[in-house]
Amino acid sequence: MILNAQELTGTDALRTQVCVVGAGMVGISMALELSAAGLDVVVLEAGGTSKTEASQSQYRGSVVNEDLHGPLETFRWRRLGGTSGVWNGRCVPYDPIDFEDRPWMQECRWPIGFEQVAPYFVAANRYLEAGHADYSASSTFGPGMPEMIEGFCGEIFSTDSMERFSPPTDMGVRYRERLASPASIRVVLHAPLQEIHLDESGTRVVYLQSRRPDGSMFGVEAQQVVLAAGGLETVRLLLANNHVQKSGIGNEHGVVGRFYMSHIAGTLGSFAPRRQVHNGYRQDYDGVYCRPRLALLPKAQREHKVGQFIARLHHTRISDPAHGSGILSALRLGRTLVPKQWRARLIDEKNSAGEMALHLWNVARDLPEVARFARQLVFERTLADRKYPSVVVKPRSRRYSLDFHAEQEPNPLSVVRLGKERDEFGVPRLEVDWRYTAMDVRTIEVAAALFAEDVKRSEAGVFEYVPESILREMTRYGAYGGHHLGTTRMGADPRVSVVDAECRVHGMSNLFVAGGSVLATSSQANPTLTVIALALRLADHLKRETA
Amino acid sequence: MRVLVLGAEGFVGRHVLSALAKTAGITAVAAVRRKKAEEHLVVDARKTEQLRRAFDGVDAVVNCVTGDPGTIGDNAGALFAAAAETGVQVIYLSSMAVYGSATGWVTEDAALLGDVGAYSAAKVKAEVFARACPAQVTIFRPGIIYGSGSPQWTERIARLLQARRIGDLGMAGDGCCNLVHVHDLVRAIVAALLVGQGPRGQAFRHRVYNLAMPGAPDWNWYFLQFARALGVVPVRRITARRLAVETKVLAAPLKLAETLLDSRLPPAIPSSLARAWRQNLRLDSTRATQELSLSWTTLSEGISEAVAGLNASRNVRRKS
């Protein structure tokens, strides 16, 4: 059932087997999984059913370098369903190499192997409505599928790796009925967690206190507690609760909030294929949109001692009319119609009057294509539940750029910590100091050079780029929005990790963390799918452990 | 053993008849409303007198009669009255609809709510007649009976999928689809007849069995796998808006046209159907599995059989 904290008038604490803090994607999938196994679950959600200005303002904090990191109240939604409301739906699993020791990067080590997570991708795909957990283009679509880049036989890059797209699933809407019907789930809205009370030894959570909208408190007593409040807020909860453990819960070695990773993303160079490219979406039988991508093969990563790197073939800069595409020019001219959060990334440069005229000319000579695109936009995106994920055009210029997404090396100096500012309830707000390392730059430099080499060798085309532009391109938009990873990272050694292989906070008997913050490394993959898989794995553990 | 099959020309009746014909020690007699073959016995299954005469020399009767709620009630009343007088053993096909709006796992002991429309209420009423009958009665409560020839759950669903009017329904298809393949239903009926014969079987007077495959999928999964087998891919995601148009705007005129004109018209999606697709009632068939030693058709086997049946009947229509 779904309750409002203000309706909980009794003075007795809510008693339950498992309390999950946060009803975002992780909290919801865990609650459904646990309740299906017969466990009693209480989910504490700080927000209501929709995003409001007032609730979002609780997320405000400070950022050390505002050029590199967005404001803290963006890309996280404080409401039932959490940030799934702004998610674009890209599902990609972590790879086996992510879980291997990679000594050429600092602290690249996991206490579990890929095979311990892999089984959970099946259910994670199901919750995210992304179809089968098959991320190989050839095995999904069979041998008849056209090659992504015709004639390309990569020795360094694979084109078989594929991303799947969720509709995208807004968990707060999609699973609302399933949360509301069973008696074994109690989702309490407007109930931000305020206090985590530990026993005297500081090893066990005995009591949680949440705040009602009127400022009064109510308690929750749970056998097991799971923090699933996102990679930033979880840090705040652990560090601000410093009554028993003076440096904050699980922070004996000062690791909570450190190793903060996102992804390095950007657009690079110009690829002129010799033959056709097939870089667009293809639907699996169940309607799931799939898109091929270029992935730097593990053996090349080992040989060149770099991190993970993938890229999609992308149209060139929208603002530059030289692409010759009527669709892209129409987007430039109708800039205000493009959703705000993408506008900055897609259409970022000013055009001269002459360039605007060229944009108009592009639209005029491409009118049928523009009309087809407009139709697709309306019927397959705006009105559709399963949305066509993004704009893919075949530019007249036949030139593509590499839209890359690359790994960040775990870095103890990249930090989320409590700032000096406090909210109206006296809880310190967060301060973020996100950083990248020389290795992060090197990964992209090496991958770009290797891609140029790989296409040249197989005579599939020419990739040109300005090596000096890499640093500018990869930091143009700073940390990739919404990927808040590594801040309570998983590991066997408490000196460099916060949770153990079971996602249990080191030194605590009944406190767990689920979410992107437990990821020990950042991979090439967008984190959502793997985060859900790890959460379902934790749910399995809790089913076994909770009598 | 002489077994009378009532409603022998219907979807389930035909399958029962052909299975009984292959069963050693059983002689099956087909009783129908309208005679279509020489060996058919014409019986109005709503009339006690006619049924009593038809039960003469019969050891057991399998009632596969269906129809509107009125027919269901009249049939059950007459059937159990005639059985009471003649002492003939009855196998009665009820429905999971007797559980009405229940949710969660449901065993045979659950309350019979019968609160999801006139059909469910009629089935509850029929079971009340059954309970009052002094003869041996076996009641089956099957879920969604699919397989070749199933007008509702194979043919109608196939037409809706082919017209892309249903597909991936999102939250509107999250309910449990308690599928039972018609072959499994028939096996259960035959097993009940045979078990009913043995010395240990004599001990019972009334027994009730749920019938649905273990690990039944949700409706979305059934639609996806069925559409895949039919080749109507990629499956479309149906918005709540579109489904509302189906149930609120299109259903009534389509239903009326179907009743007045021709059953080949596009099928309606009444709101009761859409409601069933959301309902999370899980039929527990442990008792039938154990006592009747049933083995279950898997979903992929069942769908293959259903699609083969659809293709065969399409070829027949094309030739004629």
Please write the tens of the pLDDT for every residue from B199-225: 444 567 899 999 999 999 999 999 999
E strand or H helix at A372, and its extent? Answer: helix A367-376
User: Which one has a higher pLDDT value, B27 or A318?
Assistant: B27
Q: How far is CA B103 from the centre of its chain?
A: 20
Predicted ipTM beyond 0.85: yes
Cis peptide before B234 (omega within 30 of 0): yes
Q: Which phi and psi (to 5°) does residue B220 adopt?
A: -55, -45
- The contacts of residue B200 (CB under 8 Å, 6+ apart) are none
Asked whether A404 and A444 are in contact (CB, 8 A), the reply is yes
Whether residue B100 is predicted with pLDDT greater than 90 in this model: the reply is yes
Say which amino acid occupies B199.
Answer: P
CA-based nearest distance B144→chain A, Å: 22
pLDDT of residue B261: 77
Q: Which phi and psi (to 5°) does residue A401 adopt?
A: -110, 160
Sign of the alpha-carbon torsion through B271, B275, B277, B281:
negative
pLDDT of residue B199: 47
On chain B, the residues whose CB falls within 8 A of the CB of A174 are 170-171
Token pair for A242: 């410093």
**DSSP state string for A174-216:** HTHHHHHS-TTEEEEES--EEEEEE-TTSSSEEEEEEE-TTS-
Choose among A406, A389, A400, A392: nearest CA to A310. A406
Sign of the alpha-carbon torsion through B277, B278, B279, B281:
positive
Whether residue B73 is predicted with pLDDT greater than 60 in this model: the reply is yes
Choose among A41, A95, A75, A98: nearest CA to A538. A41
Say which amino acid occupies A95.
Answer: D
Q: Which of A469-483, A511-525, B96-110, B258-272 has the lowest mean pLDDT?
A: B258-272
Residue A283 and residue B227: Cβ atoms within 8 Å? no
- As a whole number of angstroms, the distance between CA B14 and CA A27 comes to 50
Q: Per residue of chain A (547 residues), what is the pLDDT tens digit? A: 999 999 998 888 999 999 999 999 999 999 999 999 999 999 999 999 999 999 999 999 999 999 999 999 999 999 999 999 999 999 999 999 999 999 999 999 999 999 999 999 999 999 999 999 999 999 999 988 889 999 999 999 999 999 999 999 999 999 999 999 888 999 999 999 999 999 999 999 999 999 999 999 999 999 999 999 999 999 999 999 998 889 999 999 999 999 999 999 999 999 999 999 999 999 999 999 999 999 999 999 999 999 999 999 988 888 888 888 899 898 888 877 776 666 766 666 778 889 899 999 999 998 998 999 899 888 998 899 999 998 888 888 899 999 999 999 999 999 999 999 999 899 999 999 999 999 999 999 999 999 999 999 999 999 999 999 999 999 988 899 899 999 999 999 999 999 999 999 999 999 999 999 999 999 999 999 999 999 999 999 999 998 6
Split at pLDDT 50, 70, 90, the class of B314 is: confident
The answer to whether B167 faces chain A, any CB pair under 8 Å, is: yes
On chain A, the residues whose CB falls within 8 A of the CB of B171 are 173-178
Asked whether B64 and B10 are in contact (CB, 8 A), the reply is yes
The minimal CB distance from A286 to the residues B234, B240, B280 is found for B234
**DSSP state string for chain B:** -EEEEETTTSHHHHHHHHHHHTSTT-EEEEEESS--STTPEE--TT-HHHHHHHTTT-SEEEE----SHHHHHHHHHHHHHHHHHH--EEEEE--GGGGTT--EEE-TTS-----SSHHHHHHHHHHHHHHT-SS-EEEEEE-EEESTT-IIIIIIHHHHHHTTSSSB-GGGG-SB--EEEHHHHHHHHHHHHHHHHSTTGGG-SEEEEEE--TT--BHHHHHHHHHHHHT--SPPBPPHHHHHHIIIIIHHHHHHHHHHT-TTSPPP--HHHHHHHH--EEE--HHHHHHTT-----HHHHHHHHHHHHHHHHHHHHH-
- As a whole number of angstroms, the distance between CA B87 and CA B109 comes to 26
**DSSP letter at A473?**
H
User: Which one has a higher pLDDT value, A170 or B37?
Assistant: A170
CA-based nearest distance B226→chain A, Å: 11
The answer to whether A284 faces chain B, any CB pair under 8 Å, is: yes
- The contacts of residue A144 (CB under 8 Å, 6+ apart) are none
Give the pLDDT confidence of B158-189 residue by residue, as tens digits.
999 999 999 999 999 999 999 999 999 999 99
**DSSP letter at A241?**
-
Contacting A residues, span 495-514, partner chain B, CB-CB under 8 Å: none
A296 beta partners: A157
On chain A, the residues whose CB falls within 8 A of the CB of B236 are 287, 386
**DSSP letter at A416?**
E
Of the residues B166, B218, B232, B236, the best mutation for testing chain A's interface (the one with the most A CB atoms within 10 Å of its CB) is B236
Residue A286 and residue B171: Cβ atoms within 8 Å? no
E strand or H helix at A530, and its extent? Answer: helix A528-545
> Number of residue pairs across A and B with CB atoms under 8 Å?
47
Say which amino acid occupies B31.
Answer: A
- As a whole number of angstroms, the distance between CA A25 and CA A229 comes to 10
Residue carrying structure tokens 């309750």 = A3
Count other C-beta atoms under 10 Å from residue A238's C-beta: 27
Contacting B residues, span 183-202, partner chain A, CB-CB under 8 Å: none
pLDDT of residue A27: 98
Of the residues A171, A173, A286, the best mutation for testing chain B's interface (the one with the most B CB atoms within 10 Å of its CB) is A286
Count other C-beta atoms under 10 Å from residue A313's C-beta: 22
- As a whole number of angstroms, the distance between CA B63 and CA A373 comes to 58
- pLDDT mean across residues, chain B: 93
E strand or H helix at A44, and its extent? Answer: strand A41-44
- As a whole number of angstroms, the distance between CA A99 and CA A110 comes to 5
Asked whether A329 and A475 are in contact (CB, 8 A), the reply is no
Residue of B nearest to A282 (CA): B234
Residue A181 and residue B224: Cβ atoms within 8 Å? no
Token pair for B65: 């009669």
Asked whether A18 and A34 are in contact (CB, 8 A), the reply is yes
- As a whole number of angstroms, the distance between CA B276 and CA B62 comes to 27
pLDDT of residue B262: 67
- As a whole number of angstroms, the distance between CA B103 and CA B283 comes to 9
Count other C-beta atoms under 10 Å from residue A436's C-beta: 20
The sheet with strand A282-283 has its strands ordered as A90-91, A162-165, A289-292, A282-283
Split at pLDDT 50, 70, 90, the class of B286 is: very high
Choose among A226, A256, A238: nearest CA to A44. A226
Asked whether A511 and A500 are in contact (CB, 8 A), the reply is no
- As a whole number of angstroms, the distance between CA B63 and CA B58 comes to 13
